[in-house]
Amino acid sequence: MDATSRNALDRRPTGSAALRESVTETIRGAVFEELAETGYARMSMEAVTRRAHVGKAALYRRWPSKEAMVVELVSEAAAAHLPRAAGSGSLRADVERFVRDTMADLRHPLVGRIVPDLVAESARNPSLRDALHRAVLAPRRAAVAELLRQAVDRGELPEDTDLSLAVDLFGAPLYFRMLAVGGPTDDAYVTRLTGAVLAAVAASH
């Protein structure tokens, strides 16, 4: 075993830490399944404990409320799938990569059911809306804005590009297609959407 492998093993949680990590992973799965099945409004901490086969104390030691639990776990999942802020050197390639990566994320059966529900609930729940914006939307928008700033620096976009509007244009058509109206999302669609997003972004100044 080399030094890197030994160091990785040394960093693995052991004993009670490993048990806590295992319980947290079980709870995480139960939360996402409950969200997908019943939605945020109807989901309760008690329902999560039943699905995860843990006691209430296991949840309340980690989170003080349903909102805190959902926001933390959703933000952790979203952070693992942030758009790559390191550009490829081409805005077209960056847009196409963003489209394909986002499509892959939204095709997950739980994601496709959870995201629309949280969007709808956020319209009725300002506290949830603000928490999800800080934890989930703001980091995603910042990553896309960085790609656009790189394109401005390369001269692919005008210096007076409205970055806030351009960020909206990056993702909105794809989310609407996949989560609202449906329809084919094959390679031909990716090519057409990439071209449309590029044209819209270039005009956003």
Q: What is the pLDDT of residues 175-195, one digit of tens each?
A: 999 988 888 899 999 999 999
Q: How many CA atoms lie within 13 A of 126 on its CB side?
A: 0
- Position 180 scores a pLDDT of 87
Pick the closest to residue 35 from 77, 6, 2, 4 (CA basis).
77
In percent, how much of the chain has pLDDT > 70?
90
pLDDT in tens, 98-138: 999 999 998 988 998 999 999 999 999 999 999 999 999 99
- Average pLDDT, integer, range 148-177: 93
Name the pLDDT band for 48 (thresholds 50, 70, 90). very high
- Position 137 scores a pLDDT of 92
Rounded Cα gap, residues 135 and 140, in angstroms: 9
Given phi > 0 = left and psi -120 to 50 = alpha, else beta, which region is 15?
A: left
Name the pLDDT band for 19 (thresholds 50, 70, 90). low
- Average pLDDT, integer, range 33-45: 96
Rounded Cα gap, residues 147 and 93, in angstroms: 11
- Position 192 scores a pLDDT of 95
- Position 109 scores a pLDDT of 87
- Average pLDDT, integer, range 69-79: 93
Q: How many CB atoms lie within 10 A of CB 174?
A: 20
